[in-house]
């Protein structure tokens, strides 16, 4: 096996960054293939915590090259900031490659994001990073690709073509128009930084694949935030599923081999939209505090709830997970009981699927099974056998319900607090 894909199985923040970093020592290349700096991936090792938004979580492994592929939307100023931050912490970004076909997020995309969000009655609760407007421009065939952005004259010509219409929209919304001169001046240093990093990453990924080198694909967001298969319209503007790997990299679908679904031991969601197993009150606050459930990108408090196996079954089907990784299991220690949502009640009937109609989804009530809780601390456990019996029962319950093995468990934020319980669960050869 030479590729392995890591995908968020819920509404994001499942611990994808942590697990990608954990696996990166086995990889020659780590690739982000969708989304942008709406992602916030946290990695902890050697007593330090790192937060990444654009750069793949393989950056802390010297031997892997890190690719931002064409399916991403990239804010060059955010990338510049991230590279500078890593540099200041002593990490080299010389092995970062950016696709010439990736779309660029410009300052007006963030302004559009805010304007559109304010105009909505029911807020999506976007991260405000301009993700939706940048993907919309791409779809409308008005977008700007990296190749054009890094060419001073071509970027100048792009602004000549688009800026008047953009400023009309901004003026109508009561915002200050942007000037070409200010945008060119702002772009100058980041264009210079990007030029040596930009190339045809489709070829690069293909070459690595052909040579049998080991490639790790790192998803951002989560399956329930998928533009096509998530809880539309309360979703992001790309597909965070395994199907997005080939499209977002410019490579054959044959490339996708093992797919690891990252599952938080409970559920969280940031922003608007239905969340049938959401809880409030004392238990919710206990989970929020212990799990430090505050957004990596926006700092917003995450909504919390019990594990939702109906939503997870949806993610299993869409992604074809070959294994699951259960993260933040330590957060559930010391509860007397743990609830798991195994079905929904919709208008008096039991259902076991995610309805497409968002209003129907809003009316879904969770049907729970209650399992015995387990005593902690488990944060220093390093193998399956040392877990309390009730924690093993919880894992087995999830496996049997979803029909996918739990191959890896995470019991704390640190790189060392992770263990595989099935040998070879990561498709990459050692």
Contacted by 74, from Mg ion, ligand GDP, ligand IMO, none: CB < 5 to 8 Å by type: none
Window of 15-23, 103-111, 120-128, 245-253 that interacts with ligand GDP by CB under 6 A: 15-23
Using DSSP bridges, classify how beta strands 267-269 and 303-305 pair: parallel, antiparallel or unpaired.
antiparallel
Q: Which residue's CB is nearer to Mg ion, number 296 or number 322?
A: 296
Q: Which residues contact 93 (CB under 8 A, 6 or more apart)?
A: 55, 59, 83, 86, 87
Contact with ligand GDP (CB under 6 A) among 10, 11, 13, 58: 13
- The tokens of 207 are what? 């070459």
Known catalytic residue at 414 = no
- 331 makes contact, choosing from Mg ion, ligand GDP, ligand IMO, none, with CB < 5 to 8 Å by partner type, with ligand GDP
- Write down the least CB distance from residue 195 to ligand GDP, Å: 29
Q: CA-CA distances (angstroms) from residue 33 to 12, 61, 279, 422?
A: 15, 19, 33, 27
Contact flags string 132-161 toward ligand IMO, x per CB under 6 A: x-----------------------------
Question: Which among 4, 13, 28, 109 is annotated as catalytic?
Answer: 13
- Binding string, 253-292, against ligand IMO, x = CB under 6 A? -----------------xx---------------------
d(CA 27, CA 52): 18
H or E element in which residue 190 lies: helix 180-194
Residues 329-388 that bind ligand GDP (CB under 6 A): 330-331
What is the C-alpha separation between 335 and 341, in angstroms, rounded?
17
Q: Rule CB under 6 A: is residue 74 a binding residue for ligand IMO?
A: no
Q: Which stretch binds ligand GDP (CB under 6 A): 37-45, 156-164, 337-345, 381-389?
A: 37-45
Q: Binding of ligand GDP at residue 18 (CB under 6 A)?
A: yes
Should residue 38 be labelled a site residue for ligand IMO when binding is judged by CB under 6 A? yes
Contact partner, 27, from ligand GDP, ligand IMO, Mg ion, none, Cβ < 5-8 Å per class: none
From the list Mg ion, ligand IMO, ligand GDP, none, pick the one residue 58 interacts with, judged by a Cβ distance below 5 to 8 Å according to partner type. none
Question: Is residue 14 a contact point for Mg ion (CB under 5 A)?
Answer: no
Element (H, E) at 339: strand 337-346
CA dist 377 and 362 (Å) reads 36
* Active-site residue identified among 4, 41, 109, 229: 41
Considering just the CA atoms, what is the radius of gyration of the chain in Å? 22
CA distance 402 to 308: 11
Kind and range of the H or E element at 303?
A: strand 303-305
Q: Which does 292 bind (CB under 5 to 8 A by kind): Mg ion, ligand GDP, ligand IMO, none?
A: ligand GDP
Residue of 240, 205, 193 whose CA lies nearest to 78: 193
- Out of 296, 319, 325, 408, which residue is the one contacting ligand GDP (CB under 6 A)? 296
Q: List CB contacts of 16: < 8 A, sequence separation 6 or more.
A: 6, 7, 8, 41, 57, 218, 219, 220, 262
282-297: string of b/e by CB count within 10 Å (b at 16+)?
ebbeebbebbebebbb
- Give the number of other Cβ atoms within 10 Å of residue 214's Cβ: 23
- H or E element, residue 18: helix 16-23
Tell me if 271 contacts ligand GDP by CB under 6 A: no
Cα distances (Å, whole numbers) of residue 294 to 42, 69, 118, 149, 386 = 12, 28, 23, 34, 30
Q: Which stretch binds Mg ion (CB under 5 A): 122-130, 288-296, 379-387, 408-416?
A: 288-296
Q: Is 41 a catalytic residue?
A: yes
Exactly one of 38, 61, 267, 296 binds Mg ion (CB under 5 A); that residue is 296
Choose which of 10, 13, 132, 407 interacts with Mg ion (CB under 5 A). 13
**127 touches, from Mg ion, ligand IMO, ligand GDP, none (C-beta below 5 to 8 Å by class):** ligand IMO
What are the residues whose beta carbons fall under 8 Å from the beta carbon of 223, sequence distance 6 or more?
A: 7, 8, 9, 10, 229, 230, 240, 241, 261, 314, 315, 318, 319
CA distance 82 to 129: 15
Interface contacts to ligand IMO, rule CB under 6 A: 8, 12-13, 38-41, 124-127, 129, 131-132, 220-222, 225, 236-237, 270-271, 296
Residues annotated as catalytic are 13, 41
Interface contacts to Mg ion, rule CB under 5 A: 13, 40, 296
């Amino acid at each position: 096996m030479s590729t392995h894909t890591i995908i968020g199985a819920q509404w994001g923040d499942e611990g994808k960054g942590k697990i990608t970093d954990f696996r990166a020592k086995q990889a020659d290349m780590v690739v982000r293939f969708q989304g942008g700096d709406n992602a916030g991936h946290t990695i902890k090792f050697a007593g330090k915590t790192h937060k990444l938004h654009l750069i793949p979580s393989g950056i802390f492994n010297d031997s892997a090259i890190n690719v931002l592929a064409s399916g991403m939307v990239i804010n060059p100023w955010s990338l510049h900031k991230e590279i500078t931050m890593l540099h200041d912490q002593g990490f080299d970004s010389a092995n970062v490659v950016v696709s010439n076909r990736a779309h660029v997020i410009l300052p007006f995309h963030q302004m559009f994001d805010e304007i559109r969000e304010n105009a909505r009655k029911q807020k999506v609760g976007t991260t405000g990073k301009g993700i939706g407007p940048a993907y919309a421009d791409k779809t409308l065939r008005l977008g700007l690709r990296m190749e054009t952005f890094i060419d001073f004259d071509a970027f100048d010509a792009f602004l000549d073509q688009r800026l008047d219409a953009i400023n009309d929209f901004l003026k109508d919304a009561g915002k200050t128009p942007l000037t070409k001169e200010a945008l060119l001046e702002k772009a100058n240093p980041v264009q210079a930084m990007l030029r040596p990093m930009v190339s045809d990453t489709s070829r690069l990924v293909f070459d690595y694949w052909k040579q049998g080198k080991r490639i790790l694909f790192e998803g951002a967001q989560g399956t329930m935030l998928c533009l096509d298969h998530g809880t539309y319209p309360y979703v992001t503007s790309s597909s965070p599923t395994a199907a997005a790997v080939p499209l977002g990299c410019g490579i054959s679908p044959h490339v996708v081999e093992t797919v690891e679904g990252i599952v938080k031991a409970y559920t969280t969601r940031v922003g608007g939209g239905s969340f049938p197993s959401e809880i409030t009150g004392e238990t919710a606050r206990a989970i929020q505090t212990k799990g430090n459930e505050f957004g990596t990108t926006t700092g917003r408090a995450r909504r919390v709830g019990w594990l939702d196996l109906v939503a997870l079954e949806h993610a299993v089907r869409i992604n074809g997970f070959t294994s699951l990784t259960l993260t933040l299991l330590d957060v559930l220690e010391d509860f007397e009981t743990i609830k798991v949502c195994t079905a929904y009640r919709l208008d008096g009937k039991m259902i076991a699927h995610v309805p497409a109609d968002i209003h129907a989804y809003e009316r879904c009530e969770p049907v729970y099974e209650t399992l015995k809780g387990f005593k902690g601390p488990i944060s220093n456990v390093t193998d399956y056998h040392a877990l309390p019996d009730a924690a093993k029962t919880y894992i087995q319950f999830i496996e049997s319900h979803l029909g996918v093995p739990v191959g890896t468990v995470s019991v704390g934020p640190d790189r060392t607090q992770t263990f595989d319980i099935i040998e070879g669960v990561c498709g990459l050869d050692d």
